[in-house]
Structure formats: structure tokens, C-alpha cells
Structure 1
Amino acid sequence: MIKYPDIDPVAISIGPLKVHWYGLMYLVGFGAAWWLGRRRAHRIGLSKEDVGDLIFYAAIGVMLGGRFGYALFYGFDQVIENPFWLFKLWEGGMSFHGGLLGVLLGAFLFARKHNLTFFQLTDFIAPLVPIGLGAGRIGNFINQGLPGRVTDVPWGMVFPGVGPEPRHPSSLYQFALEGVALFIILWWFSSKPRQRAMTSGLFLVLYGAFRFAVEFVRRPDPHIGFIAFDWLTMGQLLSIPMVLAGLIIIGWSSRLRTS
């Protein structure tokens, strides 16, 4: 068993002002996407300044979509009980699937503004996303969130507030898969010309598969539990349409010419 690191979730505290590590991880993700995007902006006819605008659209999509998605899929009862809970972002409670929908809406609006096709832009965005996903999972870990299921593996950790049993550090698994592995694969794959929408479809399939797999060792949300079959979680249920959509997109894309 490994001792859970005692890290203060508050990174900076100045009087009543508290800056949490979880929030800083979003800045890391947006900053990395901005820096990487500027390196490839010319590929789709964008200027480096345009990338800053794109990150703004994406940030709004992530924050609104992620929060409202979490409220819809995971925390509807909390919103009914206390509507102001929606604004307590430092407590966690962001849904990737909701954030994805928000980013896709932002991408649609941005693409129309800059005369780009939707998939032309999403193919550009997809390799920029994993670093932010990985940083977010580190934020979850520091925030003592997303504990795994009870385990006897040597690297199991005792998470504060969820009992004395060692558990899988599932947020670190997600960091490794959704952050590191997904970035390496997509950045390499998109470094060469591909058919339109192929990179977007690959992103959906890989993220959905990674998330589905990790859910088997991640503790289900206590207020939801299993959705069906005594093993299907909400995260898995939301990932299935992603994988199916990704496979359909890849099948359609494979018939196109390389762009």
C-alpha cells in the first residue's frame, strides 16, 4: 500500500482569496492547447492570434458544458437543493461528456466565423485536448476526488474520507490513459495528412474506450451507484455513444481522400 500524499487542495491563499490546484489545472490545459495550437495553426489557415480566440470559445464551452453536464448527469439533486452550487467549481463536479458537447458547440460557431468545415476544426482541436484532460485528472487526485474501488494491489491508496481500505488511484490511471497515452497517439497520428474527420473519430473511440475501461476500477458515484447489471456506471453509459459515433465517423472518413 502507498501512502496517499498529503497535498493541500489550495495552492495559493491570500486572505479570503483561495486559488485551488483544481482550477490551476484548467489553466495548464488551456495554456498547453494554446501553445500547441499556435505551432499547427497554419495547417488550417489560422493565424496564431486566431488560436487565442479558439481557446476562448473552447474555454467557455468547457466551463458551461462541463458544469451543466455534471448537473444533468450526476448532480441534479444538488442543483435542486442549492442552485448556487453550480458556481462552486473549486469543489469539483465537472463532466467531461458535458464539456465535450460545449466544446463542439463552440467549435461549430468558431468554424462558421472563420469559414472552416466543422471536422476540419475538430481534427485540429482533438490532439490539443489530452493535456488538459490529464491535468484535470491530476487536479482530481490532489482534490482527493474520484477514489477507486477497494483493491489489494501494491499501489493501492487509502483515500481520506472513504474508509480505511486501500483503493485504486483511478484518477492517476485516467491521467496516464486520457492524458499521456491519448496525447501521444493523437499528436503522432495527426502529424501526417489524414482523411477529414479521421482524427476526430479516433479521439472519440480512444477516449470512450479508455474511460469505459477505467470505470471498472473507479468507485461509482455514491449518489448514483450502478446504472444496470450491477457493473454499468454512468461514465460507461455516456462513453458508449462516443465509441459508436467515433467508429461511424472513422468508417465514413476512410472512404474520403487524404486531405
Structure 2
Amino acid sequence: MLMYPQINPIALQLGPIAIHWYGLTYLAAFALFYFLGTLRLKHEPYRSLVGAGAWQRKDIEDILFLGVVGVIVGGRLGYCLFYRPEFYLFNPLEIFKVWEGGMSFHGGMLGVIAAMVWFARSRARPFWQVMDFVAPCVPTGLAAGRVGNFINGELWGRFSSPDLPWGMVFPQSGSMLPRHPSQVYQFLLEGLLLFVLLWLYARKPRKQAQVSAFFLVGYGIFRFIAEFFREPDKIFAHPGNELGLRALDLSQGQWLCVPMILGGIALWVWASRREQAPPPVASKA
């Protein structure tokens, strides 16, 4: 049994300015995305695209900027709608207090999708070509976010067996009983393992939308598994009531993963049967 190391969430204090570890993990996530994006340019079909359809580093920079906006806006609105709708309905100004925490992956994903729709249309690129470019670069950012969760001592797991060697006591949870370090589980599953599998899958030529479908299914499955070990969120306006549907004793996070998995499977099947347009070739003139 381990004791959670009480880590100061502030990495650096410069007078009234505080730099939080959680913010640094976001910066790390964005830096990893840019680095992986430059490597992704060497994969097919992006390496072979020429002319107006050619991909450049400028595209990565634009995608990153729009993605950041999508993550922040979508993640915050998703948290308010999916996890605490009643509270924010009666306290709408609290939505803007992002510094107090409260972000949702599923909302952030919807925000990124909306941003990529705009990018694809503004650049006259196929939407699924854009999403397939982005998908393999995302899991490392998710892993960085879970590191931030662990440093903050938040999103701890359910109670574990006292005999579990890595069971950890989180005093801030209000209990001194060992729990699963679910942040670490999610770091390993949704972050590192999903990245390795998705990156290897995306390195070979695939039909448009298949890489995106792989991400949806992979993340949905790994998050669904991790939720069995993660303490369900609470509705703060109604203490003691677990958030999420009671049916099948699944958490809110698991119910949000179900359409991801089903949608990913349907997308992969649709993409495998869809006729693909040949990539543009360089002119010999």
C-alpha cells in the first residue's frame, strides 16, 4: 500500500503569478502534438500529396491552434453539460471560471471535431483526411493530461484490496483506505498503449476515416475499462448522488464511451466499403 505524495500543484511561483503543473502538462501535450505532426507528414497519403493538396508544417500549426481552442471551449462546455448541468443552469457565470477546473474529454473531442470541420472547409481538404492526420497525435496529449491529474491528486480510483501492492491512499478523498491509482491506469491505457497501437496502424496506407475509427474504438474501449477502477464523479449540487445512469451500474464516463465505440465500428465498416478517390499526382509539364 502506497501513500499519495502530496505534490504542490504550483510548479513555479513568480510573485502573484503561479505556474501550475497542470498547465505545463497541457503545454507538453501541445508540443508533443506538433512533434508527432511533423513525423506524420512522412506517412502516406500525406507524403505523396502534391500541388494544392500538399501538406506542410503550416498546416500543423493551424491545426494545433484551432485544436487548442476546440479543446478548451469544448472541454469546458462538455463538462458543464455532461457532468453538472443543473448547477451551471442556475449559475451560468460559473461556466467562465475555467481556472477552478472542470474539463471533459468527450466535450473536448467534440470541440476539436468542430474545429477540424472548419479547417477542412477553409483549406478545401477532405474532412476524414484531416481527422486521420490528427488522430494518432492525440493519445500522448491525453497521457500528459493524466500526469496532471495525478499531480493534482484528483480523479482518484475506487477502493482497492489492501493487498494490492500499488494501492494508494489519497487523503484528499476523505478516506485513508487504499484506492486504485486510476490516473496511472488511464495514462497507460488511453495514453501510451493507444498511442503505440494507433501509430503503428496509421503508418501503413489506410482508407480515409479508418484511422479515425480506430481511435474512437480504441479510446472508447480503454476508457470503458479504466472507468471500472475510477471513482465516479459526483453531482455537487446533490451530494451523495453518483452522476450517470444507474442501468447496468455503469458510470457516466462509460455511457459516454458506448456511442464512441459503436460509432467507431460503424465508421470503420463504412470507410472499408467506400470507394476512395485516387490521390493527386504531380504534373509532368
Aligned to 2:256: 238
Question: Over aligned residues, Cα RMSD in angstroms?
Answer: 1.7
Aligned to 2:88: 79
Q: What is the TM-score when the length of structure 2 is the normalising length?
A: 0.86
- The offset of 1:222, in angstroms, is 2.3
Q: Equivalents in 2 of 1:33, 1:41: separation in Å?
A: 12
Q: Equivalents in 1 of 2:218, 2:101: separation in Å?
A: 24
- The offset of 1:232, in angstroms, is 1.1
Aligned to 2:198: 186
Q: Equivalents in 2 of 1:81, 1:20: separation in Å?
A: 30
Candidates 152, 157, 173, aligned match of 2:185: 173
Matching residue's letter, 2:194: L
SS at match of 1:219: coil
Pick closer, same or farther for the CA change 1:175–1:26 going to 2, 3 Å: same
SS at match of 2:12: strand
Query: Residue 157 in 1 paired to residue 168 in 2?
Result: yes
| 179-188 or 218-227, larger mean C-alpha shift | 218-227
Deviations for 1:167-224, whole angstroms, at most 9, x for unmatched residues?
A: 0000110000111001101111111101111000010001011111111111111225
Aligned to 2:119: 110
Aligned to 1:12: 12
Matching residue's letter, 1:65: G
Aligned to 1:119: 128
Aligned to 1:69: 78
Deviations for 1:66-108, whole angstroms, at most 9, x for unmatched residues?
A: 0000011112344346444334434431100000000000000
Gaps of 5+ in 1: none
Query: Residue 60 in 1 paired to residue 72 in 2?
Result: no
Q: What is the TM-score when the length of structure 1 is the normalising length?
A: 0.94
| 192-201 or 88-97, larger mean C-alpha shift | 88-97
Q: Equivalents in 1 of 2:258, 2:207: separation in Å?
A: 24
Structure label with greater radius of gyration: 2
Aligned to 1:29: 29
Matching residue's letter, 1:182: L
SS at match of 2:11: strand
Q: Equivalents in 2 of 1:87, 1:139: separation in Å?
A: 21
Q: Equivalents in 2 of 1:86, 1:19: separation in Å?
A: 22
